[in-house]
Structure 1
Amino acid sequence: MRFTTSSVFAPARSTAPTGAAGGLPPKRDLALAWVLVTLVAVPAWVLTVAQARAMGAGPGTMGTTLPLFLLLWVTMMAAMMLPSMAPVAVTWVRGIGRSSSGWARAIRTVEFVCGYLLAWTAVGAPVYVVLAGTGRLIADHPAAGHWIGLTVFLIAGLYQLGPLKYVCLRHCRAPMSRLVRHAGFRTPVRDLRVGVHHGAYCVGCGAGLTVVLVRLGVMNVVAMAGLAVVIFAETLWSRGPLLARFVGVAFLVLAALAPFQDWLLPGLRGSMPAMSAV
């Protein structure tokens, strides 16, 4: 399996000034970005695992309020998404304003990451509404969980194979040609706004993957780790688009099996009666 960041970094080389005085070498820039992302992603995984052990992977919102859910959601998204967006953050910060100091670039990287997470936080509210609705439906009609599982896997599979997925995936794999258009933003909020812009595309790219957490369990750590690997590979692996299609087909297969296989729906297990294949 060969991973590449050439599509991510090439635009920065062509748009950034060369030979800027005081600039850190690219390898040190990259190392600094990975350190910053690690300082966020590792604690996010630790908190997510600890919370998952306390809450389990039950249906619905598991009794959480919207503010608490949004806090858990953004923590989960930081754990899952930051590893795949780190190269984009460092490329943007190094390519725009390359003459700034190392610490200034570090601060700008943090702003970019905050904007990126804001985009994912905004998605948390509708996810909460969906979870609350499905939780109530399952409480009243336990057998509906099987068909909700079928519907979620079907939607996820069709989305993975649909055109919007690949519009967003193309951006996430080679984003700089679009991001440099925003170099004229005012500097106090420029990196935050660009982070939101990139995050919105990544929401579109990962929507089909994250929606399956509705049925696998929002606090299902194994599912989150698996999806994080898929997202990382889709974004940075040379055959990422092919993997995305493979995952889409796999979701359609799981949709066909979901009504008859309770083990595919750990987020609903224990809340619905078993069904047998006809």
Structure 2
Amino acid sequence: MPERIRDLPRRRPIVVGVDGSRNNQAAVRYAVEDASGTRRPLLLVAVLDVPGAPSPARDPEPAWTLLTHVARKATRQHPELRVRSTLEFGNVPSRLLDRTRRADRLVVGRRGLGTFGRPILGSTSTDVAARSDRPVVIVPAAWRHADHGRQTVVVGVDPARHDDTALRFAFAEAARRGASLVAVHAIDAETRLVWDPLQAAPAHRSTLTIGARRLEDVVAPLQSAFASVPVTLCDERVDPATALLRRARAAQLLVLGREDREHFAPGLGSTSRQVLHYAEVPVAVVPG
């Protein structure tokens, strides 16, 4: 594969998909700021959606010109930033995932009309989020960090899961950003009351009590480890996607865990898909 970079440094880079569309610009800006803030190298990846080598129908030079322009702009804004570029050929999600396996995380736009062929994002964003073994940050086209003086990171928590990977990621991001953390657990228990109010009421009250207690138990160990991060616990009885989207309105990042069950392929649940579709802030999907 043609590549105009040297060997990657030992520190895992942040990878961002670049397609040249207006909708993709927010993802590139986010990745640049993220790489600068974490002091990690940035790897720009453009994909020509054709198999094999370049052809007259897919001249690689416009892609290289775009990558060079993006890299120069990033280093002008952040002279300390180490930026590298690569051009891939083939299926867009697969090529991005290949580059992400040795990365810290992947950043993509939520939607984008690829300059180099088929739309790079939309189905691509959910595809890579469902399959990546590294965190994937999906950035809405309208997002501009400079426009949002937001000081919270929101994370969805399922106390029934025995995996704190997403919660730990959220704590680390909040600590790095000097932000507070809002941990949200939500379950729509009201439907029980609708069908059988008399029998469901005791179970409903028990769910309220147990849910709040379990949320505290899950968060407490990491709260001790990240003592500098202010934490708010939110145990709500509404649809989980509704609760997360509402809390994320005042956030700079929303973090979701992705649970891959043994013997089943990785994938996104209905809550994650709803959140990714409607969120107005960047959403990090963290595999368990």
When normalised by structure 2's length, the TM-score is 0.24
Give the structure with the higher percent helix.
1
Q: Which has the higher contact order (CA 8 A, sep 6+)?
A: 1
